[in-house]
Every structure is written in structure tokens, then in C-alpha cells.
Amino acid sequence: MAKAETTMENLISLCKRRGFIFQSSDIYGGLSSCYDYGPLGSDLKKNIKEFWWRWMVQRHEDIVGLDASILMAPQVWEASGHVEGFTDPLVDCKKCKHRFREDLLLDPHKCPDCGGELTESRQFNLMFKTYMGPVEDDASIVYLRPETAQGIYVNFPNVVKSTRQRVPFGIAQIGKAFRNEITTENFIFRTREFEQMEMQFFVKPGTDMEWFEKWKQDRIDYYKALNIRPEKLRFHQHGPDELAHYAADAFDIQYEFPFGWKELEGIHNRTDFDLSRHEKFSGKDLAYYDDLTKEKFIPYIIETSAGADRTVLTVLADAYEEQQLEKDSRTVMHFAPEIAPVKAGVFPLVKKDGLPEIAHEITDKLRPHYQVFYDEGGAVGRRYRRQDEIGTPYCITVDFQTKEDETVTIRERDSMEQVRVKIPELRNWLFEKINNRLDSNS
Ligand code: GAP
């Protein structure tokens, strides 16, 4: 049966109540569009980034990692086209003074908040600017990177020289990006500070469309492996008016959020735009020499660019379910086991007769390998509900039979089915269920 859709109110409330996501600087009234990941949210986001890294870097022998700095030489952003063209059209309401992105308005002349008259639009650059060193003059301007991609392009020759990678190959990176967005919206969907998970794949010109198709398929497969419902995912091809200045072709992977179909990831054929521009602006030869075929060329780049925070929102929205059971109801987050912040709850059936000691021993043994949570408070049913609400895939209960045969029950979150497993086999059992799933997806 299809599950009932959630609302943003339900999600935001659960995120705050259970410690996934808080408003930044909460005690000062919050800072608009900035968010902090709490104890559960930070683990969820870290697990998503690790899942991406494992999927993109570890599984592909032709992809290597990089961790470039956020601050880069300002010429990078001239070469990339961001200084000149990374702008949005901004309009102000003459009456209430609110600001809007003109291209997102239904009526470009009328304020959506108060109906007042809007100003003519002007182009607003989205890059955050700051100064390097003590003097605040034009010569010391640096930008907070608006995308992680450029750190990869400028390191292309370093990676070619320092590894045995040959074109076609890719460079992947996860890191913060900053955009002074005019309109922020929908919780963590569009924020001014966010994290990207980007991979740039360098290919021989002429083979680019083949690789483009391959990466489109691989990236959809990735979201399915993350347990995102396939019917909630679709491709959207950019029309000529949507294409970024660098792209010859582009598809978004969209997800159907509670507020509609929106971009989750962009897949772009960036041609030789980036390396050619950096070659021109830096004066360095960035062409690739293939010593087998003796050909020299500027590689084309196929980019896959996903937002880590947007993936967190997708995973939260997709996982959320309020289920009516026979006797009661539960809120359950159906996270894929790899990304669930807590992998197992460990409960003694009662708080006596040596059961807590055995449960503590199990917790201590599992803790170096998995995030586990010991809980002896209240009826077991209530303890299950607390773990369901944070998406813990397995709950291990120590009961009286444990003392006789060294077995515990493991209750699975989604099916609520229970099995008995011997304590010495617990770690391997969890490994099979949690870490080995990618085998069947590769
Ligand atoms: N390097 C290409 C690039 O940055 P993009 O389509 O502008 O392309 C890629 O961004 C992804 O980064 C988006 O699909 C989205 O997931 C994420 N992203 C972009 N702007 C964002 C914002 N203001 N807040 C949160 N995530 C954002």
C-alpha cells in the first residue's frame, strides 16, 4: 500500500524534537536560512556523505578523491564565469521593501507579500565576498566558493601527474559551498551555506554523450540504493533558457518533495569550457597527452553535482511514515540501514535479574563498530516506538531465554518481524544486513 505523504510541518517538528536539525543561533532568534545538525542529524548527514563516497570513489577504480580549500585564487572565479555571470535578477517591493528573485515570481510587477509595486530588476551576484589579510581593498578580495567543482578543475594537472589515472577518469569531492541566495526556502532545501558532493569525469571529446548517459543511469541507481522510492524520482532536461553558461546539455534528477518536484542533483556536460578557460586565464597548458594513442586534447567534463543537505531533506521526506497499526500507531523513518544514525537499540526486557548487565556488555561490544543506543526505560513497545521514530533498523532485546541459550531477539523496524540470534554472531549478523547491501547493488 502506498504510504500517506508527509508535510513539511511534520518533518520540521520531528527534526527539532528528536535532534536532527535545529535553527542556527537559536537562542538569538535564529539566523535566516542557516541550520545546525544535531546529534542524530550530524550522524545521518555523515552517513549519507560516506555512502556517496563509497558509491562514487571506492566502487570505481577510475575515480579518485580530493579535498580542496574553500578559498581559492580570485582569478579562478573570473575564469569560471562566476564573477561576470553568477547572478540572479533581484527586485524590491517599493511598499513593504521585501526582496524577490524576479524569475521565481508569477507576476513580475506585483509584490506577492503586499501587492505593492516592484522595482525594475537588477542583477545580483550570488558569491560571498571577503578580504584576505588585514587590508580591505580590491587587491585582497577573495570569494567563498559557490561550487566545489572549480577546486577539481584547477587540480586536474596535479592529479594526472601524481596518480596513474588516465582519461577517462573522475575526481570526486565533498565540501561546503556558499551562495548569497536572494530567496531561501523550504527548510534546508535552499540555504546560503550548504555542502555539495560533486564528481567531475574527464573524457575524450566525442565520447562525452556516451559517458553522460552512463552517469545519468548510475546516479539514478544510487538514489534507488539509498532506498528512495523510484516513483518519486524523475529526470528533467534543461531547456535552452535554463542551461548554465558552461553546459552543452544538462539533466536534473528531481525528487517530489512535499512542496513539489524540485532539483536534487544536476548532471551536466560541461564540454571543454572549464579547462579551456583555466588554460587561458592561468597561461598553463592543461591539455591531456595520451601516451598510448599520442593524442593531445582538452578533456570534456561530465559532472554529477548533488547537494548533501538536499539529500538529507530527500531522505527525511522519503523515509517518514505515520503508520496505523492494529492496536496503536507509530511514526517510522524507513532509512536505508547504511545511513540510519543509530544502527541498533539494545534493551534488557526488565531492569533486573542480570539482564541489564548482559545488554550493557552487548552495547559495549558493538559500540566500536556501530552507533548503538542502550535503553532500559519503559515498556519494550515504547522503546521500539522511540527507535522507529529515529529510523533505527534493528532492536536487540535481552530476555530470560538469553540466560539459558545466549540468544537475543532482533526486531526489524519495517516488517516488525523478530528473529533469535546468538550473541557471538551479532556483529556478523549486523554486518551482513548493514554493510553488505551494496554488494547486491553493484
Ligand atoms: N557545480 C555545478 C553546480 O553547482 P548547481 O545545479 O548549481 O550545479 C548542484 O548545484 C546541486 O547543489 C543542486 O542540485 C543542489 O542539490 C545543491 N545546491 C545548489 N544550491 C543550493 C542551495 N542554495 N542550498 C542547498 N543546496 C544547493
C-alpha cell at 66: 580530493
> How many Cβ atoms are within 10 Å of 367's Cβ, its own excluded?
13
- Is 413 near ligand 1, meaning CB less than 6 Å away? no
Please provide the average confidence, as pLDDT, over all residues in the chain: 94
Residue 411 Cβ contacting ligand 1 at under 6 Å: no
Give the span between the Cα atoms of 24 and 357, in whole angstroms. 39
pLDDT for 1 equals 52
Considering only CA atoms, which residue is closest to atom 21 of ligand 1?
190
Query: How would residue 6 be classed by pLDDT, with cut points 50, 70 and 90?
Result: confident
Tell me, using a 6 A CB cutoff, whether residue 262 lines ligand 1.
no
- pTM, entire model: 0.94
Task: Give the contacts of 124 (CB within 8 A, at least 6 positions apart).
Answer: 87, 88, 89, 90, 180, 182
178 CA distance to ligand 1 middle (Å)? 10
pLDDT one-digit tens code per residue, 194-206: 999 999 999 999 9
Cell readout for 24 is 542556527
Are 205 and 297 within 8 A, CB to CB?
yes
Q: Which atom of ligand 1 is nearest to the CA of 181?
A: 23
Q: Is 274 in the pocket of ligand 1 (CB under 6 A)?
A: no
* Best probe residue, ligand 1, of 310, 313, 314, 315 (max atoms within 8 Å of C-beta): 310
Q: Is the fold of 2-72+145-316 the same as that of 342-441? A: no
Q: Decide whether any atom of ligand 1 lies within 6 Å of the 266 Cβ.
A: yes
Question: At which residue does the C-alpha cell 559551498 appear?
Answer: 177
How far is residue 255's CA from residue 266's CA, in Å, rounded to a whole number?
12
CA of 221 to the centre of ligand 1 (A): 20
Ligand 1, pocket-test mutation among 49, 263, 315, most atoms within 8 A of CB: 263
Per domain, the residue ranges of the chain are: 2-72+145-316, 342-441
CA distance 83 to 71: 15
Rounded to whole angstroms, the Cα distance separating 192 from 297 reads 37
Instruction: Name the residue with cell 522595482.
Output: 119
pLDDT at 166: 96
Indicate the residue type of 435.
N
Q: Which amino acid is at 104?
A: L
Q: Is the CB of 195 under 6 A from ligand 1?
A: no
For range 329-344, the mean pLDDT: 96
Percent of the chain with pLDDT over 90: 84
- The predicted model gives 289-311 an average pLDDT of 97
Q: What is the largest CA-CA distance in the chain?
A: 79
Calculate how far, in angstroms, residue 289's C-alpha sits from the geometric centre of ligand 1.
32
Query: Of the given ranges (78-87, 141-150, 349-358), which has the lowest mean pLDDT?
Result: 78-87
> Is the CB–ligand 1 distance for residue 179 below 6 Å?
yes
| pLDDT of 437 | 72
Atom of ligand 1 nearest to the CA of 190: 24
- For the Cβ of 307 lying below 6 angstroms from any atom of ligand 1, the answer is yes
* Cβ 265 under 6 angstroms from ligand 1: yes
What was the pLDDT predicted at 86? 87
Looking at the CA of residue 149, tell me the nearest atom of ligand 1.
1
Which atom belonging to ligand 1 lies closest to the Cα atom of 192? 23
Cell triple for 15: 527534526
Q: Mapping DSSP to helix (H, G, I), strand (E, B) and coil, where does residue 73 land?
A: coil
At residue 50, the 3 state secondary structure works out as: helix
- The closest-lying atom of ligand 1 relative to the alpha carbon of residue 268 is 2
* Residues 360-367, mean pLDDT to the nearest whole number: 98
Q: Please state which CATH class domain 342-441 belongs to.
A: alpha beta
State the pLDDT confidence band at 442, using cuts at 50, 70 and 90: very low
What does the pLDDT average to over 225-251?
Answer: 93
What CATH architecture does domain 2-72+145-316 belong to?
2-Layer Sandwich (3.30)
Three-state DSSP at 14 gives helix
Tell the residue nearest (CA) to atom 25 of ligand 1.
190
Is 80 exceeded by the pLDDT of residue 257? yes
Quick: pLDDT tens for 27-71.
999 998 899 999 999 999 999 999 999 999 999 999 999 999 999
Contact between 194 and 307 under an 8 Å Cβ cutoff? The reply is yes
Cell of 274: 572549464
Residue nearest to atom 2 of ligand 1 (CA): 305
Torsion sign across C-alpha atoms 294, 299, 304, 309: positive
Higher pLDDT, 12 or 89: 12
Alpha carbon nearest to ligand 1 atom 9, residue: 305
